[in-house]
Structure formats: C-alpha cells, structure tokens
Structure 1
Amino acid sequence: MRLRGLHPAQVIVLGFFTALALGTAALMLPIASVGPGGASFMESLFTAASAVCVTGLAVVDTPTYWTGFGHVVILALIQIGGLGVMTFATVLGMLVARRMGMRSRLSAAAEVKSTALGGVRRLLQRVVRTALVIEGVVAVVLWVRWWALGEEPLRAAWLAVFHAVSAFNNAGFALWSDSLIGYSSDPLILLPLCAAVILGGLGFPVLLELRRELRTPLHWTMNTRVVLLASGALLVLGTLFFTASEWRNPGTLGPMGVADKVLSGFTQSVMARTAGFNSIDTSQMTSTSWFGTDILMFIGAGPAGTGGGIKVTTFAILYFIILTEVRGDVAVHVLGKRLPRSTHRQAISVALLAVGLVVGSTMVLLTIEDYGLDRTLFEVISAFATVGLSTGITADLPTTAQLILVGLMFVGRLGPITLATSLVLRRRTRLYDLPKERPIIG
C-alpha cells in the first residue's frame, strides 16, 4: 500500500510500528545488553514498545541489563515516542530537506491535534522547542543536585538528561533498580521530576497557549481551562488520598516523617497520572491504594501531550454530560460554552472502548496466569494508560500475557479512536435517515 494514499491516522500507526520495529532490532544487538549473545526478541520488543509508547513497564532490570548503548536507544525511543513519531519525522525532514509535503502536514497535524494546516511548520517547531527547553532546564537542576550528592560531573549530566527526558515524556524509565525510592526524602530530585511530568502531561496545546496567553486567562480556550482545572483537582485529591491511605503502612510511608510522607504522597499522585516513577514501593501498597491508582491511571493526562489514559478532558466531559442529564438541561455547557454533540459521542466512545479493552484484557490475563484481580487489573491499566507503575508481576508473566501488554501500550499511546480510524478506509455517508425510537434507559 502506497503511503500517499493512506489516511493520516493510518500513517501515524505505521510510523509508531516502524519505530517499534527499529527499536526492537537495535536492542537485540549484542552491544545493547550486558549479557553474552544479546537480548531475546521478547525482551527487546517489550522494552522498545514500553519506551516508544512512553510507558516504563519492564521485563528486565533497565539499569543493569542494558549497556550504555542500550540506554541511549531507550532514551531515543522515549523522545521520539513522547514528541510523536510523525512530529519527529516531519521536523527531521524539515531540517534535512527544508520542506514538508501536504501528507506530512496532515499526519503531523492529526498527531498534535491541530486544525490549522497553514501553521503546522511553525507549530511543530514550537512543540520541539518547548520540549527541549523544559527538558534542558530540568536536566540542569538535576545535574547540579546529583553533582552535589557526589556523582562525577559526566555521570551526573547523563543521569540528569536521561531522567529529565524520561520525566517530561511521562515514560518512567529510571537508571536505578528501585526507581526513585532512594530519593524519597529529597525534594530537589523529586520536585523537578514532578514538574517535568506535570508539564508534559498538560499537553502541547495547553503549553503553547499558556506561553502565548499566560497573563490573559480570559482568552484561554475551553481545552486549556478544563485541562488545568481537572489536572489541579486530581493532583490535590490524589495527594490527600495516597498520604492518608499509606500513612501507617510500614512498607511505604509508615517509617517516614510527616514532611517526607506528604512529599511522597504528592509524588505518587503526580506519577500515577501516566509517569511511572515511584518513590515508594508500589508492590507494598494497600489494595485500596492500588485501586485509587487504577482510577488515576485510567483518567490519565491532558490530550496531545506525552501522557496516556482516556485524558482528563474526556473524563471532564463525561462528568458534565452526567450533570446535564441529572439537571434536566437540554445542552451540555462547560465553563460558559456549549459542547457540540459530536464531542459527546467521541468522549463516550473513547471511554467505552477503553473500558472494553481493560476489562477484556484483564479477563484474558486472569485466564492465562492468575495473580489476583487487583494486581492483574493494575498491570493492565498501567499498560493501557502508558503509566509504567507495576505491582512487580510484569517480568513473571508468560510471553502471551506480555504480548497483550505490548498491544495495550500500543493502543494506549495511539488512542482507541486513532487506531479505530486507521482501520476504516473511508467514511460512510448515509443518503437517508431512519425513523427515531427510544428504548428505556436506566
């Protein structure tokens, strides 16, 4: 099939699949892993999928299994996956050829959720520039801190760059076997990483609008307002929830002081929204905390950003739809604006497709290997929402179950609607309408 005749959604899917294939091949090279003979196909595939889908789940220990070359490959996949394969490829093409065709513009615009084709070149440049600036600032702060903690300057610089990129892209890959548990009481490490995760999770449309209209909130679009309000509310509620539910747990927050408990509670709230780092042992959390994490992971971050989940805008729209129905209003209003009915359908479709994928995958995994509903559901949602948090069972799952998680990461990064659209070759235009009839609801 020629690329010229593909729908933009199909091009995006093909781009991610190509990046996944190249990443898998690179990680299978003997130079990429520490052991003799190179990594297996499944280890390479799972790691490449987790990196390009900015998830962070792993079947091997990232810092000890992969060499420096392997870590560079993982970092490149994280950056490509976070920015978007078509965004990255289009900007690279602009740098090399100084031009971009209509097909590239359509695909890149679809990926960053832009409708203004004429300004795609400028938009993509701003997206890349914004990402690099945020990653650079966070990397400098982390470099200074790790240097002060006794790391060699070059080692501190590598740690800073790797974790800044991983954090902004909401990937959650760390160069320590226990993720960030060793820094659970260090705000100069955790807070910069949290800031990068939050900014990446807001989404590029929000970041670019804040950059342009920061001092004029009355000019903000509905998308920006909803993302900021919903994200802020979830961060506060998540912090209160994790701090309270794990306060006395001897395996997590129990031994810490009050300030460290609040810091770790806040960090867990941030990371549960698709980042994947953890400053406490996730496997030792209570079932209540696991379920709360499931909810936050499923909701996810902002649209057209580096995070996953069904997106906070989808969740907010569903809330307003329910509120409208309860009140008996005719139209759905959000922050002084009326929502078009197509938005209702899209939000409901995304949510129901996501629920179906999570429920179906959980049932299959329970059939393959029964680790209990709470652990299995946690792993499935973590993969679908591209979070990367784990209760510790990922590496022990059989190959079939790991392949299901790979598929969930792929679908979660692209989005159920994008993937569904890519499978449809053309839109159906109905030349007639059918008579209306209402079933009984509720």
Structure 2
Amino acid sequence: MIGDVFYEMEEMDSALAMYEKTAEMGATNKHISPNTKKNFLSANNISLGAVYLKQGKISLSQSFLEKGLQQSKEWNYKPIIQSAHKVLYELYEKKNNHQKTLEHYKAYIAYKDTLSGQEAQNKLANLEIQKDVSRGESERAVLEQKARIQDLEISKQKTIRNAFASVAVLIIALGWALLHNIRVRNKVLEEENKRKQEELEAAPQLQLSMLPKENPETDSYISAASMNVAETVGGDYYDFFPQKDGSVYIICGDATGHGMAAGMVVSMTKTGLQTITRESPNKLLGKLNDTITKMNTGRNQMALTIAKLDGDSLEYSSAAMPPTYLYRQSDKSLNELSATGLPLGALKKESYELAKEKLAPGDVLVMLSDGLPERVNSGEAQLDYPAVEKCVRENANKTPEEIIKTLETLGESFADGEPNPDDITIVVVKKK
C-alpha cells in the first residue's frame, strides 16, 4: 500500500492520510471478498496504530492496535496477529509497563516461531517430493540403460526398427513438452489478462472517488468542472481546495499511463495537495515534484496545473499541462497563460515559473487536459487547439456549465461516434 511507503520514508502525516483513505475505500469496496476485507481492515488498524505510536499519540495508538489484534484473533490471521503483538510490546515498553511488554513480546515470539515452523515443514515436504522424483528418475534411467544393452544384441534389422521407434518416441515427447509449455504459457497469459481486466474495472471507481463532490462558489467566482473517462481509463484529475481566508486553489492534471499505475500517481498528488498552506502555485508544484521523485515512479509522471484565486488576483503555474485560457471580457480577447515546467516526477529539484494576473467581472478561466483537443474522428484527424479556442471565445458570455457543455458537444460532433481514447477534463471559472 502507498501508506507503507510513506511509513518507511518516515513521512508519518502522509502515511496517516493514506491509511485513513485506505480504510474508507476498503470499508465501501464491494469488489473484494469478506475474508479479504476482514484481513485488510485488521492490518490497516495495526498500521494506523503504528503511525500514531511513531507520532507519540500513545492512547490513540493503543486503541487501534488492540482493535486490530482483536479482529485478527477473531479471523485467526496469524501474520497480522504477530505484527500486532510486535507493535504492542513496543508501545508498552514506551509506557514502562514491563508486565505488558513481556506478555506481548512472548506472544510475538510464539507466533513468529509458529509461522517459522510452518515454513520449515513446507520446505521439508518439498525436499521429500524432490527425493521421490529423483529416485523415480534414477530407476527410469537404469531401465532405459538395460533396454539399450538388449537392443545392441539384436540383429541389424531389429536395431534399425528400434532406432525408428526411438525417434518416434522422441518426437512424441518433444511434442508433449511443447504442448505442455504452450498450455502453461497460455494459462499465465490468461491469469495476467484477468488481473489487468480487474484492475481496469476498478480504476474508474478509484479515479472518480478522488474528485470533489461539489464545485465551490465564492463571493467572487462561480465554477464548474467535468470529466469524461475514456474506455481504457486514463489518469485525469481535477480538484478544488477552498481556504479559510476565502481564496481557492484550482487543480487540473493528467497522469501518464492508464489503469492503477496512473491512479497511484494521482493518489500521491492528491495526498500532497491536502496539506496545502498559503503557498504560491509554483512553490506547491516544487514540493509535489520532490515527493513524487522520491517515490521513484519511473515513467509514471504527473502533468499538473495549479491556479490560486484570491479576490481579483490570479496566481498560476503549470507542470507540462496544455494551455490554460484566460478570456478578457473588456476587449473580448483570449490569452494563453504561460508558466510551464517538466511533469512532476520527471526531474529532481525542478523549478516552476509563476504567472500573476488581475481579473475583472466577466473574465473566464478555462483549464483542460489534452483529451479534448486531441479527440480524433474516423479519419484519424485531430480536433486540435484552434477549434477549442474559437469555441471558448464565442461562448465566454455563458455560464461555466454552459461553456463546458458547448465544448463537450464540439468534441462529440467532431468525433462522429468515435470513442474518446483519453480522458477529457474541463474546468471553467468565471469572475462575478
């Protein structure tokens, strides 16, 4: 789990946020079996207890650890019981409760020995099997040797006949081995395809669960947002983070790749954004980049745009996202905001530019992923950015919801029935 990675990195706040999110998703996920869910929840409670212990919250840690221990004992899942006793003896050691420390330490060692004994028995059984197989192969080799000696004593005619028979047997054996290997490979491929299919089916639920439940409206702005998920599930993401001072951070992003790999990068990004303080968008992108590069996600990176609206002030920064459009009501102009850098996770210590603008009533901010301008039709032609810009300019006088609807209709009309190969995300904010 991602929480375990943050725990190993000693980033306890992030680990706690992920374990709490994991607990919420595990409790509501209907796609896993009851037994798996039980083991999952008890293990997650013990992980929460371990984090609270690291944070020095002894009482809260003890509550989660004892709950996790009770659950794991009810379901008799020995590896989790062993983990619970280990963390509990560490907790009571901090509390200087020597009796409880010794009690849980003995239990930890007992379960550890039990699991080690089972592993030793399994190894012994495997050795016995290998011994029987070796004995059988040796006996077969002796018999084959005797058969070859007898064949040499037969006449030339019988030798030739047996030679042909040996060739036939060899061909049959090779054919059987080849067939067996094909069946094994097909079974592995079938299981891998099944796993990938289950992952793709679960990915949309994970992706949509990370989106905000409502779009905020402030004294200065009205907003709307939409995401149309592709058949193969991309990694688009948008969010709003209202602040106590009345300002709001607006997020629009696109993770590389598809399925759960993209979902993991989005989850890491959302976790980092939940700790927003009064930071400029470019500084916030720098912090997120440091976190993702530490996780070594490889080719899984995150393009992200962050805009901060505060009254009539706009601060903007972007990490490799498509242009963000700013429509000026005063002169009917459409401008591209430029403050770009590399995707999050691409390069350590990357710095990001910051753009600042002033907004007037009627001005419109449009943020989008590349799914709409790169929409294709049956002739494999792309809709492209000029068509999107023209649509924004001609419909900027409408409400944010109407602007989004018009852009989506533009994409559907152009595609003429062709499915969208990538997620399409649009966020529109309008100054009152």
Query: Please, what TM-score do these two structures have when normalized by structure 1?
Result: 0.23
Report which of the two has the higher share of strand: 2
Higher fraction of helix:
1
Q: TM-score, normalised by structure 2?
A: 0.23
The higher relative CO (CA closer than 8 Å, separation ≥ 6) is in: 1
Larger radius of gyration: 2
